[in-house]
Amino acid sequence: MSLLEVMGLSHSYGDKQLYTNASFELYKGEHMGVVGQNGAGKSTLLKILMGEVVPDNGYIKWQSNIKVGILDQYAHIIENYTVFQYLKTAFNDLYDVERKLNDVYMEMASIQNDKLMKKAAYYQDVLEEKDFYNIESNIAKVATGLGITAIGMDKILKELSGGQRAKVILAKLLLEKPDILILDEPTNFLVVYFPRLLIRSLCLFPFLQDLQLS
Ligand SMILES: Nc1ncnc2c1ncn2[C@@H]1O[C@H](COP(=O)(O)OP(=O)(O)O)[C@@H](O)[C@H]1O
Ligand SMILES: [Mg+2]
């Protein structure tokens, strides 16, 4: 089964026809590149795939429960966060689970019953299974790999240069471990650091291990 299936895609802006009845599929382990002149419709295609733009015609089907990560040209970051705080936001859903677990513990201090014990055990299992207790060491690993530790984990994001920001955004994306990584013109985004940095970081992905530095 394909991760992504696009059938009969057509889209135009004004009298500019970007695609006519286009179809393709993407399978696990495949890498797809979209090449075209400025204005050909590359970014629009990605926006259609992400559901940000509704196409004139066509059918887009993602395999269910798939986690898609996107590195776009205009990635949003929280300017007042430190590098470390920002990288931790990759795990916000797990910190939520930790909060719920702590609430259950608080409740258990006054009442104890089976239901609460089960709830606590469930949250503990989720955290262990998702490697919650190694978050900080995983952040450190990726940050070191991308040369972010050298910038300083306590630096405020708004004080970073464009290239440094790019590294931090890419690090967060890698920490989120998406099943599919969509990169819109990463060469522009990562400026001078491309391609060694990008390829090196993509190699951190287990399913991309076939990509090697040449
Ligand atoms: N929201 C929009 N409204 C009208 N025209 C648009 C819009 N977005 C993109 N376009 C036009 O569609 C074409 C394709 O744009 P885009 O997908 O950004 O191209 P690429 O990423 O290949 O450079 C361009 O001519 C652009 O001006
Ligand atoms: Mg574009």
- Indicate if the pLDDT at residue 76 is higher than 80: no
Q: How confident is the model at residue 213 (pLDDT cuts 50, 70, 90)?
A: very low
Q: Percentage of residues in the chain with pLDDT exceeding 90?
A: 59
Residue ranges covered by each domain of the chain: 4-66, 83-94+131-208
Of 9, 10, 13, the residue with max ligand 1 atoms within 8 A of its CB, to mutate for a pocket test, comes to 13
- State which ligand 1 atom lies nearest to the alpha carbon of 185: 21
CA of 70 to the centre of ligand 2 (A): 13
Q: pLDDT by residue (tens digit) across 151-171?
A: 999 999 999 987 788 888 888
CA of 14 to the centre of ligand 1 (A): 10
Q: In angstroms, rounded to a whole number, what is the distance separating the alpha carbons of residues 138 and 144?
A: 10
Q: How confident is the model at residue 207 (pLDDT cuts 50, 70, 90)?
A: very low
Alpha helices by DSSP H, 50-134 = 83-88, 92-110, 114-129
- Indicate if the pLDDT at residue 209 is higher than 60: no
Ligand in closest contact with the CA of 74: 2
CA of 184 to the centre of ligand 2 (A): 7
Q: pLDDT by residue (tens digit) across 86-106?
A: 999 999 999 999 999 999 999
- Indicate if the pLDDT at residue 42 is higher than 90: yes
| C-beta 43 within 6 A of ligand 1 | yes
CA of 33 to the centre of ligand 1 (A): 18
Q: How far is CA 174 from CA 112, 118, 148, in A?
A: 40, 33, 13
How would DSSP label each residue in 146-206? TT-TTT-TTSBGGGS-HHHHHHHHHHHHHHT--SEEEESSHHHHTGGGTTHHHHHHHTTSG
Average pLDDT, the chain: 86
Q: What residues form DSSP beta bridges with 26? A: 4
Q: pLDDT by residue (tens digit) across 121-156?
A: 999 999 999 999 999 999 998 898 888 999 999 999
